[in-house]
Amino acid sequence: MEMTAPRHVFLFSGHMIDGRDRATPRFPWDKEPVAAAAIAQALDDFGVGAQDLGITEGACGGDLLFAEALLQRGARLELRLPFDEATFLKNSVDYPKAKGAPDDWRARFMRARSQARVLVMPDVLGPTSRDESPYERCNIWMLGDALAFGATKLRFVCLWNGEGGDGPGGTRHMVQVVREEGGEVRWLDTRKLW
């Protein structure tokens, strides 16, 4: 069955919940309700509904908060995994969180996954070369597929502190490539949220 073209395509990138070993807090676990409310407000401002499509990776933190808010509004969801699911879960969902943090992210990922179209990058695009960041490649892949519906349909939401990430392919990279393509950016600046 062929799906109808979406009214708008929403891309999301944002910080993961801080791991136990993060020296400088970026997304403390107790700020989850603040982040969830900001993401929900952004989607409401855009009028997200059943005719829309959302695309994100599905990491614990911003990605899953976006996925949950999108699904609550009846929109379609695609999760794009840069690795096989087991590796993705280990690196981006199950890693050790800060002391006191709830550890229900795997269950939340599985709930979102059960309502989403899940695409695994190596299965779709082939293996990532040694000199390429899988995260940057995933960003470009998500953006390219979103732009295939037309640049005027693209809306990008990010939960970000405005700084560089822990490695290549983070939110800063996605903001840069979306802006280069003329997409609309809704920046939820964590420095102002908490």
> Are residues 136 and 168 in contact, defined by beta-carbon separation less than 8 angstroms?
yes
> Are residues 46 and 90 in contact, defined by beta-carbon separation less than 8 angstroms?
no
- What is the DSSP code string of 61-120? BHHHHHHHHHHHTT-EEEEEESS-HHHHHHHHTSSPBPTT----HHHHHHHHHHTSEEEE
Whole-number percent of the chain with pLDDT over 70:
96
Q: Give the residue with greater pLDDT, 71 vs 176.
A: 71
Inform me whether the pLDDT recorded for 123 exceeds 60. yes
- What is the DSSP code string of 111-142? HHHHTSEEEEHHHHH-PPPTTS-HHHHHHHHH
* Cα–Cα dist 57/7, whole Å: 21
Mean pLDDT, residues 93-115 taken together: 92
Position 1 scores a pLDDT of 46
Inform me whether the pLDDT recorded for 189 exceeds 80. yes
Inform me whether the pLDDT recorded for 166 exceeds 70. no
Residue 79: strand pairing partners: 56, 118
Q: Which residues of 63-86 are buried (b: 16+ CB within 10 A; e: fewer)?
A: bbbbbbbbbebebbbbbbbbbeee
Picking from 19-28, 140-149, 177-186, which range would have the lowest pLDDT averaged per residue? 177-186
Residue 158 phi/psi, 5-degree rounding, is -135, 145
CATH topology of domain 9-193: Rossmann fold (3.40.50)
Enter the DSSP assignment of 19: B
41-54 confidence digits (pLDDT tens): 999 999 999 999 99
Reported confidence tier of residue 2, pLDDT bands at 50, 70, 90: low
pTM of the model: 0.94
* Cα–Cα dist 92/104, whole Å: 13
Reported confidence tier of residue 169, pLDDT bands at 50, 70, 90: low
- Domain segments of the chain as ranges: 9-193
State the average pLDDT for the chain. Answer: 93
Q: Give the residue with greater pLDDT, 4 vs 111.
A: 111
Q: Give the residue with greater pLDDT, 173 vs 84.
A: 84
Residue 173 phi/psi, 5-degree rounding, is -60, -45
Reported confidence tier of residue 98, pLDDT bands at 50, 70, 90: confident
Mean pLDDT, residues 87-105 taken together: 90
Cα 4 from chain centre: 23
